[in-house]
Structure 1
Amino acid sequence: MRDRAQALMIDLDGVLRRWDPAPMIAVEIEYGLKPASLLETAMSWDIYRPAMAGEITDAEWMRLVADRLPLEAADAATAVAAWQSYRGEVDPEALAFVREVRDGGRKVAIATNATDRLRPDLEALGLLGEVDLVLSSWEMKIHKPAPEYFQQACLQLGVLPKHVLFVDDDDRVIRGARSAGLAGYRWAGPEHVPYLRKVLDLPD
């Protein structure tokens, strides 16, 4: 039997923040780009990894994305800026769970792969005051799913890995958390919140 979790680490994108694909699709249609080409270009490992690991800034990352688009330089920069102007929205059910965990006396940290744009995004979304700590890969200089990320994160949170529940929407990241000794759980929506309450020993 595992020890009861005393703290929650929760992912941002795909859990606390959700994305409407419509704004991205609109930009791609306007500039004659293939569907999903903006996201696929941004996620190219050779530019995505240094952006998440704190080796380049968000602005530098986006310039690299623009350089790879099949557009004139000015149009590419404008297309990327238009794509980036939409910053997602808070998932109200995930936020309600975070609030419940904190009300129950447990620490909550956002644990996310991100760039130096993270904190302005969190402030704009109203999330900075909703958590006790922000664990950014850009600031830590190491990204999920590396076990070292979770080891550093637990040290910053001040809670032993065996007492931390980690929630993410990516199975590969969950495996990384578990290899570091955390209890990892894949977020598929709020239907499993009752189970997560039990892991955190919160009242029903």
Structure 2
Amino acid sequence: MLDALADYRALLAEDDVRVAVSDLDGVLRVFDTTPWAALDEQLGLPRGSAFRAVLRDPLLEDVTRGRATHEAWRESILSTLRDQGVPAARARRAIGTWADDRGRLDTDVLDLLGSAQREGIEVFVLTNGTDRVREELEELLAHEDPAVPTPRRFGDLLDPHGERVLNTAELGEAKPDPAAFALAHARIERVLGRAVPRCCVAFLDDSASHTEGAEEFGWRAVRLHRA
């Protein structure tokens, strides 16, 4: 991971790079993976069942494109779990446990983006998100440690309700589709009020398909690998 951040820092230092775009989940916001095993135990299902039920749900593609809601996604997950023999009340409790996890901000990524911003780089987040992303970011912001120095706080980097949060559920297309990058780039140009050559955008994501899609679109990209 540190190598990837060093590569991204070097990319941001290039004279022609004027915009930094970071993925959210898996990059700027991270989640502990151990609760998946606890959810499997809570559900009484084999290891890996909760992860598959949630992140392999067929409705997720529509959710990230704004064609279905987070609530509908949860109901679809519930249906999957019920089909596997999990009692409805138990399944709803487990889904609630998963849905209430807001994750945490990665301070290394936050510091890097904050430093870039102070050097004059325009910072945006592009996430394959849901209709709850802004609400979740607001909750993260509300729980930030007041002891953390001001330049290292998420609220100083981005407004959770601002236009620099590029949520695919609002854009209508999701990474790695070319249309998602085109819509995101158009939003960036609108927010900045000027044309931005694609090669001037530096993108950070933890998905190989997303970084490849970004590069095919014309952005410059670094993939963040986590152990």
- Would you call these one fold, judging by a TM-score over 0.5? yes
CA deviation vs aligned residue, 1:16-75 (integer Å, no higher than 9, x gap): 011112333222212212223222122226211011111110011011011101212222
Partner of 1:180: 217
Instruction: Measure, in 2, the Cα distance between the counterparts of 1:86 and 1:24.
Output: 11
| % identity of equivalent residues | 30
How many pairs align?
A: 188
Q: Residue 54 of structure 1 aligns to a residue in which SS?
A: coil
Is 1:167 the counterpart of 2:204? The answer is: yes
- Work out whether 1:156 is the aligned partner of 2:187: yes
Is residue 96 from structure 1 mapped to residue 111 from structure 2 by the alignment? yes
C-alpha distance after superposition, 1:102-157 (max 9, x if no partner)? 10111111101010110011112224552370010100010000111111111111
1:63-105 deviation per Cα after TM superposition (whole angstroms, max 9, x unaligned)? 1011101212222112111121112111110100110011011
- Paired with 2:24 and 2:197, the residues of 1 have a C-alpha distance of 22
Distance 2:63 2:77 in 1: 11
Alignment of 1:1-204 (within 5 A): 4-44=16-56, 46-69=58-81, 70=84, 71-126=86-141, 127=154, 129-131=156-158, 133-158=164-189, 159-188=196-225
Q: CA RMSD of the aligned region, Å?
A: 1.7
- C-alpha distance in 2 between matches for 1:128 and 1:116: 20
Q: Residue type matched to 2:174 in 1?
A: H
- The DSSP-based 3-state class of the residue aligned with 1:46 is coil
> Secondary structure at 2:214's aligned position in 1?
helix
> Is the deviation greater in 133-142 or in 79-88?
79-88
Residues of 2 paired with 1:113 and 1:62: CA distance? Answer: 17
Runs of at least 4 residues of structure 1 off by over 6 A? Answer: none
The one-letter amino acid paired with 2:183 is Q
Cα distance change on mapping 1:128 and 1:58 into 2, 3 Å: farther
Instruction: Give the gaps of 5 or more residues in structure 1.
Output: 190-204
SS at the partner of 1:41?
Answer: helix
TM-score, scaled relative to structure 1: 0.86
Unaligned runs of 5+ in 2: 1-13, 142-153, 190-195
Deviates more, 1:29-38 or 1:105-114: 29-38
1: CA distance, partners of 2:94 / 2:74: 10
TM-score w.r.t. the length of structure 2 is: 0.78
